């Protein structure tokens, strides 16, 4: 159950990141199509997992039912004390799940602006790659191309799951 909840949170996070990525107006058609495809597939998985988790009554629903029971004015002191302990345990479990999920899904999307010899600017998307590795990859690809087809890096934007606003690196 824990693994499915973490995957569900990761898929929801991925949906949010790709939705933000699609809001950028300067994505080329190839990257936009790939992002739309990944977003649509992620939405399918999210629905499938969400339906399964709903049937199994996950910890989030258990916490909600405890809070609803505590709001009952006719609850006995013994029952209230028991529910308060259960609520604290549920909150600790939710916090643990969320911390674990954030560690598992702390990925980055990097959008690289490149320009070819003809002056046309393109955007390339890299997932979970370090800036130095991306630069090395582009240099390697340049070494395989004839000089008239080589590209130059203009800008690198990192999108992180920890910070949804881009970190811009201008070269």
**Residue 145 CB-half CA count within 13 A:** 14
pLDDT, mean over the chain: 78
DSSP bridge partners of 125: 111
pLDDT bucket at 161, cuts 50 / 70 / 90: low
Share of the chain above pLDDT 90, in %: 2
pLDDT bucket at 107, cuts 50 / 70 / 90: low
- Name the residue with tokens 């070269």: 171
Share of the chain above pLDDT 70, in %: 80
- pLDDT by residue (tens digit) across 1-24? 556 777 777 777 778 777 877 887
| 95 vs 85 pLDDT, higher one | 85
C-alpha Rg value of the chain to the nearest Å:
23
Q: Of 53, 63, 66, whose CA–CA distance to 12 is shortest?
A: 53
Is residue 133's pLDDT more than 80? yes
Lowest mean pLDDT: which of 38-42, 46-50, 55-59, 78-82?
55-59
Query: Looking at residue 32, what is its pLDDT?
Result: 81
Query: Looking at residue 56, what is its pLDDT?
Result: 47
């Amino acid at each position: 159950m824990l693994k499915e909840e973490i995957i569900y949170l990761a898929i929801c996070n991925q949906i949010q990141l790709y939705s933000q990525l699609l809001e950028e107006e300067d994505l080329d058609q190839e990257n936009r199509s790939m992002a739309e495809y990944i977003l649509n597939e992620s939405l399918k998985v999210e629905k499938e997992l969400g339906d399964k988790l709903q049937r199994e009554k996950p910890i989030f629903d258990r916490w909600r039912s405890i809070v609803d029971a505590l709001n009952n004015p006719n609850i006995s002191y013994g029952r209230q004390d028991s529910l308060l302990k259960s609520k604290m345990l549920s909150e600790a479990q939710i916090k643990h799940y969320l911390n674990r999920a954030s560690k598992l899904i702390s990925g980055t999307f990097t959008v690289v602006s490149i320009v070819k010899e003809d002056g046309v600017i393109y955007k390339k998307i890299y997932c979970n790659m370090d800036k130095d590795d991306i630069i090395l990859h582009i240099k390697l690809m340049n070494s395989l191309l004839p000089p008239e087809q080589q590209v130059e890096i203009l800008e690198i934007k990192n999108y992180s799951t920890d910070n949804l606003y881009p970190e811009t690196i201008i070269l």
